[in-house]
């Protein structure tokens, strides 16, 4: 799909990755509807890009319905919003678990359910789901985050099959560690030596390419991490042992600790 003059509904636009995606789509001539919860950040970005902005809490079902009533006819959905959802399952409250599921998984599913019929009727549309490499490789202290991101991958892949032969595309983006923005930076942890990162602009470029070329899945990570993902798919127990040997469990624990204050969104 050519993004020129297409309306793009982008959730999670207040973060650094959301900013990069918004700017990349605007550079392609898209008309943007930006959503998030930090209105002061949204307003500045919307002013810069000539976009519409709406403060929306995706865990609030009434607010989600109102958003879809107003903008459910958008040509492109980019579901980027997510909560960290890290921490041991025994540390989380039922309320926190519900909110993690609502924001990370239920909201993208319901947005697709409402938007796909209109896309099919118009004969054009694209849905992009921003997942994570945590949607392919499980890690300690991330059971809920893994659950939502694995779930997103499964939903998007099945939806793509259901829409095969139509003019509506579905893509899933899997970022690894992203520098300068996102949950990894907000947790303020240091990665082991040799673990590479990618930039928010790399994620944004992957999103635009996925829409324009109708790419099923894109991993946004260094070659070494992409190779590790392949090994995890073929030999998960071996990959887990290797991950523990390299200190992956320690990184996951520190990441969860750094994100603990954001479990309630």
Active-site positions? 145
The domain of 42 spans 7-262
Report how many domains make up the chain: 1
Q: Is residue 175 part of a domain?
A: yes
Q: Categorize the per-residue pLDDT at 262 as very low, low, confident or very high, splitting at 50, 70 and 90.
A: low
Q: Is residue 131 part of a domain?
A: yes
Q: What is the mean pLDDT of the chain?
A: 89
Q: What is the pLDDT of residue 33?
A: 98
Average pLDDT, stretch 139-161? 95
Q: Is residue 2 part of a domain?
A: no
Q: What is the pLDDT of residue 126?
A: 98
Q: How far apart are alpha carbons 132 and 130 in whole angstroms?
A: 7
Q: Categorize the per-residue pLDDT at 244 as very low, low, confident or very high, splitting at 50, 70 and 90.
A: low
Q: Is residue 40 part of a domain?
A: yes
Q: For residues 152 and 162, is the Cβ–Cβ distance under 8 A?
A: no
Q: Is residue 1 part of a domain?
A: no
pLDDT in tens, 5-18: 999 999 999 989 99
Q: What CATH number did the domain enclosing 67 receive?
A: 3.40.50.720
> What's the pTM value of the predicted model, to 2 decimals?
0.89
Q: Is residue 160 part of a domain?
A: yes
User: What are the start-end ranges of the E strands in 69-184?
Assistant: 76-79, 125-130, 168-175
pLDDT in tens, 9-47: 999 999 899 999 999 999 999 999 999 988 888 999 999
Give me the numbers of helices (H) and strands (E) for the chain, helices first please: 11, 7
Q: Categorize the per-residue pLDDT at 192 as very low, low, confident or very high, splitting at 50, 70 and 90.
A: low
Q: What is the pLDDT of residue 76?
A: 98
Q: For residues 19 and 13, is the Cβ–Cβ distance under 8 A?
A: yes
Q: Is residue 127 part of a domain?
A: yes
| Helix, coil or strand: residue 227 | helix
Q: Is residue 155 part of a domain?
A: yes
């Amino acid at each position: 799909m050519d993004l020129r003059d297409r309306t793009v509904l982008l959730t999670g636009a207040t973060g650094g990755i959301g900013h990069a995606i918004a700017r990349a789509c605007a550079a392609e001539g898209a008309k943007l509807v930006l959503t998030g919860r930090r209105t002061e950040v949204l307003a500045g970005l919307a002013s810069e890009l000539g976009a519409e902005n709406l403060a929306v809490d995706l865990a609030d079902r009434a607010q989600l319905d109102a958003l879809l009533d107003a903008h459910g006819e958008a040509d492109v959905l980019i579901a980027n919003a997510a909560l960290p959802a890290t921490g041991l399952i025994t540390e989380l409250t039922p309320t926190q678990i519900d909110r993690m599921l609502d924001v990370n998984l239920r909201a993208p599913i319901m947005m697709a359910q409402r938007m796909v019929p209109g896309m099919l009727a118009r004969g054009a549309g694209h849905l992009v789901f921003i997942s994570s490499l945590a949607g392919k490789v499980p890690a300690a202290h991330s059971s809920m985050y893994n659950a939502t991101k694995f779930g997103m991958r499964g939903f998007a892949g099945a939806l793509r099959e259901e829409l095969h032969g139509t003019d509506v595309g579905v893509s899933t983006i899997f970022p690894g560690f992203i520098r300068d923005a996102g949950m990894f930076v907000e947790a303020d942890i240091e990665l082991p030596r040799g673990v590479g990162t990618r930039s928010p602009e790399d994620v944004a470029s992957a999103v635009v390419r996925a829409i324009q070329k109708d790419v099923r899945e894109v991993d946004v990570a260094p070659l070494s991490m992409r190779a590790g993902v392949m090994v995890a798919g073929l030999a998960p127990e071996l990959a887990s042992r290797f991950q523990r040997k390299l200190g992956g469990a320690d990184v996951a624990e520190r990441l969860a600790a750094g994100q603990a204050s954001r479990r309630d969104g």
